Amino acid sequence: DQKPVDLNDPFANEPSRLPVFKINSKKPFNAEPPLEVLTDSYITPNELFYVRNHLPVPKIDLKSYRLEVKVGKRTVKLSLDDLKKRHKPVTITTTIQCAGNRRAEMSEYKTVKGLSWGPCAIGTARWTGVRLRDILLDAGIDAKDPNIKHIQFNGKDDDITKACYGGSIPISKAMAPDGDVILAYKMNGVDIPRDHGYPLRAIVPGYVGARNVKWVHQVTASHEESHSHWQRNDYKAFSPSTTFETADYKTAPSIQEMPVISAISSPAVNATVYEEQGHIEVKGYAWSGGGRDILRVDVSSDGGKTWQAANLTKDEPNADDSAHCWAWTLWNVDVPVKPGQKVELVCKAVDSAFNCQPEGMGAIWNLRGFLSNAWHRIPVTVAQDD
């Protein structure tokens, strides 16, 4: 019953995936786990972690794999074993989120261009690897060189023209001792799965998923951002009044650090719920970029007129303690409802800089549907008493 492999199909070598994924695009593969399992565990299981691929998954042989680190005129080539021998392993627990998470809701307000992600293009894992800072210092970087402003990453995934996926981050983030940027070879204790970047992935805590470049094989210190399509002509932020006619990718800022967001993972949209003693339980996640913690999640069962503060579940401390809070907060709360009611459940989070989520999509709408962090609203029906 196996299909024959089409050798001309660049997607002939994709890894196998669980059938439970909600698939937004098959080639390249883009899929998110079902909402009802997303917050079942603090750490997202590897096989349920959302997959956001821009190109076919490359097949990489460790024997020939080398990481090239380019600093000035010098290029250092390192096998994965070299990397592990030269630098101490660190484990960072971080949430990674796609810039397009919750895009479908923004598109409901007014159509945007991009894959139709629900609220599950986000996940949390423990990543083990070596500090990018150490690798760059080892390669001879002068952190005070004013000509070095960005660290560029290239992935091994490429298209027919051999243009590969790439992205870059500011030098200040790459070199900050507490920035916790690593090149990771393990995801939750095992070799990183092919879909998530085997054998090496850039992990940039608190930044958009797109800069957490998978299958990374080139790291370049540069005076400018990556020239890749995805750095220059994608993953940029526009105002609500920008149209496809007026959009200027040259001057628009690249998405890097992410804003505060939250979502309800249970109950589901339009579910019929059963109250107990006048209450139902609501659960979900909250996260903010830049290492900011979540201080509070407010939940409403009357469309946002009154609020209750949720119980918060945080990360276990990292093995390597960090002052910065890179991973999400799970939350739950019992809210009051009456049998037979149709209610709108709403959640909104507050981060440790007291930033909050916008009420609606109108003021943050942008033609690409990025950064869709308005209050999450879930209509449900409370079942009648028997």
Interatomic CA distance for residues 184 and 309, integer angstroms? 36
Q: Contact with a copy of itself (CB under 8 A): which of 1, 61, 81, 178?
A: 178
If one asks whether residue 163 binds a copy of itself (CB under 8 A), the answer comes out as no
Using CB atoms within 10 Å of the CB of residue 149, give its burial: 0 to 12 exposed, 13 to 18 middle, 19+ buried: middle
Q: Could you say which of 15, 278, 360, 379 contacts a copy of itself (CB under 8 A)?
A: 360
Q: Nearer to Mo ion by C-beta: 69 or 98?
A: 98
Question: Residues 33, 179, 205, 209: which binds Mo ion (CB under 5 A)?
Answer: 209
Q: How far is the CB of 275 from a copy of itself (least distance, A)?
A: 20
Q: In what order do the strands lie in the sheet with 261-266?
A: 261-266, 279-287, 329-336, 311-313
Applying the rule CB under 5 A, the residues between 9 and 68 that interact with Mo ion are 52
CB atoms under 10 Å from CB of 221, counted, come to 25
Binding flag, residue 282, a copy of itself (CB under 8 A): no
CA distance 103 to 118: 7
Q: Does 355 sit near a copy of itself (CB under 8 A)?
A: yes
How far is residue 264's CA from residue 326's CA, in Å, rounded to a whole number?
20
The residues in 250-289 that bind Mo ion, with binding defined as CB under 5 A, are none
Q: Which stretch binds a copy of itself (CB under 8 A): 33-41, 116-124, 268-276, 360-368?
A: 360-368
Position 290 contacts a copy of itself (CB under 8 A): yes
Other C-beta atoms within 10 Å of 353: how many?
12
Q: Which does 21 bind (CB under 5 to 8 A by kind): a copy of itself, Mo ion, none?
A: none
Among 31, 71, 83, 99, binds Mo ion (CB under 5 A): 99
Residue by residue, what is the 3-state secondary structure of 166-187? EEEEEHHHHHCCCCCCEEEEEE
Q: Which of 228, 227, 219, 225 is nearest to 70 (CA)?
A: 219
- Residue from the set 210, 258, 297, 330 that interacts with Mo ion by CB under 5 A: 210
Nearer of residues 80 and 356 to a copy of itself, judged by Cβ: 356
What totals of helices (H) and strands (E) does the chain contain, helices first? 6, 22
Please check whether residue 185 is in contact with residue 84, taking contact to mean a CB–CB distance below 8 angstroms: yes
**What track of x and - describes contact with a copy of itself for positions 297 through 326 (by CB under 8 A)?**
-x-----x-xxxx-------------x---
> Of these, 218, 289, 331, 368, which contacts a copy of itself (CB under 8 A)?
289
Phi, psi of 211 (to 5 degrees): -90, -5
Q: Quick one: which of 158, 356, 381, 383 contacts a copy of itself (CB under 8 A)?
A: 356
To 5 degrees, how large is the angle CA 231–CA 287–CA 157? 30
Q: How many residues bind a copy of itself (CB under 8 A)?
A: 44
In the complex, minimum distance from the CB of residue 118 to a copy of itself, in angstroms, rounded to a whole number: 20
CA distance 262 to 374: 8
Comparing CB distances to Mo ion, the nearer of 131 and 214 is 214
- Rg over CA atoms, the chain: 21
H or E stretch including 383? none
**Alpha-carbon span 107 to 367, nearest angstrom:** 9
Tell me which residue of 29, 77, 315 sits closest to 193, measured CA to CA.
29
Regarding 363 and contact with a copy of itself (CB under 8 A), the answer is: yes
Provide the 3-class DSSP secondary structure of residue 8. Answer: coil
211 makes contact, choosing from a copy of itself, Mo ion, none, with CB < 5 to 8 Å by partner type, with none
Is residue 241 at the binding interface for a copy of itself, with CB under 8 A as the rule? yes
Which residues contact a copy of itself by CB under 8 A? 170, 172, 176, 178, 237, 239-241, 253, 255-260, 288-290, 292, 295-296, 298, 304, 306-309, 323, 348, 350, 352-360, 362-364, 371, 375
Which residues contact Mo ion by CB under 5 A? 52, 98-99, 209-210
